[in-house]
Amino acid sequence: MTHPGDAGTPPNGRSEAVLDRDGLHALVRVLRERGRTVIGPTVRDRAIVLAELESADDLPHGWGVDLEAGRYRIRRRRDGAVFAHSAGPQSWKSFLHPQRVRQWTADRDASGELTVREEEPPAVSYAFLGVRACDLRAIRVLDRVMTGGRFPDPAYGSRRTGAFIVAAECTEPGATCFCVSMDAGPAVDGGYDLALTEVLDEAGHRFLCRSGSEEGAAVLAELPRGDADDATRTAAAAAVRGAAEHMGRSMPPVDLRALMRDTLEADRWDDVTARCLSCGNCTMVCPTCFCTTTEDVTDLTGDHAERWRRWDSCYDLDFTLLNGGSVRASARSRYRQWLTHKIGTWHDQFGSSGCVGCGRCIVWCPTGIDLTEEAHALHREATAKGTAR
């Protein structure tokens, strides 16, 4: 490895280099020295979760995962791979759009005067390390929802603005991954400051690193690194290409918007909702679900009150509660709303699918409901009835 200096320049004009494990350690250190809170994957409570990193030692070196519908297990690997694991129970939504956010507080003094204080957005400078292509796409989806339009969310904006993103291209998909079907991976295609592709072969353990922004190039220039060589580029491209060819799941190769629109009365909805608990796990782990509600709390004296915004789910009966009752009183109607919106009518609202193929909803469903299986079943039923397009 060389010392900091001029990084190599690929044909696109952005810097490119090769990092070893010392370079990865330096990356975390440099980001922290720049005043950023570094968040990345780490092993905790028998899962790979996202948490603040003090050094690269906190990353899940040598850990992988076994995934299936309704099942998640971590396992020891025979190598020291850092990013050879699939999506865990959290997404970056947990930091950009937290589960609970206080909106205001109100206090009444001894004279009875009431003072209301609006909660100020937090002053935080994040660096996200190890963002998969599917999650990078999910962040873009949230950006469109939370910062676009007439009513941007200042709480989201304060966390998102200036966040430094270190993407990690996927080289080993899990059994529940289907990002290729959603055109969301495994390669990253922009929206990052630095992108890493992990390579383990006879030449050693290393990371092809390329910058995607001026700040990314500046950070890379501070790291100990080697020149990007053709052998590493070839190995990195082959690893990502291999991941694309070995997805654990897939969607039917049809227009999903049309499929959802044309199967609203399909018999399959009864089958899946006979298994659905309406627990909302799928919406909680989904990296793009963003719905919230508010709750007011007070102390025992009644002199102090707070309003909190918290995540909500379309599986909650109260989510569509109007005078006279819930609009979607049945589990069938609630599951159908979630799936048809996620991969169908989301396009009409936001111009893209709301699904990025991460597979979290499959893994963390307690009854193992698989939305890819349901999409295929709906397509088969439509084909049998002669209504498929």
In this structure, what token pair is assigned to residue 46?
């028998």
**Cis ω on the peptide bond leading into residue 186 (within 30° of 0)?**
yes
Neighbours of 4 (CB within 10 A): 13
| Segments of the chain scoring below 50 in pLDDT | 1-13
Query: DSSP letters of 197-222?
Result: EEEEETTEEEEEEEE-SHHHHHHHHT
Whole-number Å distance between alpha carbons of 318 and 327: 9
Strands 164-168 and 126-131: what pairing? parallel
In this structure, what token pair is assigned to residue 381?
């039923």
Whole-number Å distance between alpha carbons of 311 and 34: 32
373: helix, strand or coil: helix
Whole-number Å distance between alpha carbons of 108 and 282: 41
In this structure, what token pair is assigned to residue 150?
């007439």
The crossing angle, in degrees rounded to 10, of helices 21-33 and 214-221 is 120
pLDDT at 324: 82
Are the CB atoms for 268 and 324 separated by under 8 Å? no
Beta strands in 33-171 (DSSP E): 37-44, 47-52, 63-68, 71-76, 100-108, 114-118, 126-131, 164-168
106: helix, strand or coil: strand
Which is nearest to 284 in space by CA: 122, 98, 103, 86?
98
47 forms beta bridges with: 44
CA dihedral 225, 228, 233, 235 (to 10 degrees): -50
pLDDT at 7: 41
CA angle, 22 then 24 then 28, to 5° = 115
Query: pTM (2 decimals)?
Result: 0.92
Domain residue ranges of the chain, discontinuous segments joined by +? 16-244, 256-385
In this structure, what token pair is assigned to residue 161?
């603005």
282: helix, strand or coil: helix
In this structure, what token pair is assigned to residue 298?
């007070």
Are the CB atoms for 354 and 141 separated by under 8 Å? yes
pLDDT at 8: 44
Residues 6 or more apart whose CB falls under 8 angstroms from that of 336 comprise 264, 269, 273
CA 60 to chain centre: 18
pLDDT at 388: 67
Q: 37-46, pLDDT tens digit by residue?
A: 999 999 999 9
Neighbours of 111 (CB within 10 A): 5
Q: 147-201, pLDDT tens digit by residue?
A: 987 889 999 999 999 899 999 999 999 999 999 999 999 999 999 999 999 999 9
Whole-number Å distance between alpha carbons of 253 and 213: 35
Residues 6 or more apart whose CB falls under 8 angstroms from that of 276 comprise 331, 334, 335, 367, 369
CA 33 to chain centre: 26
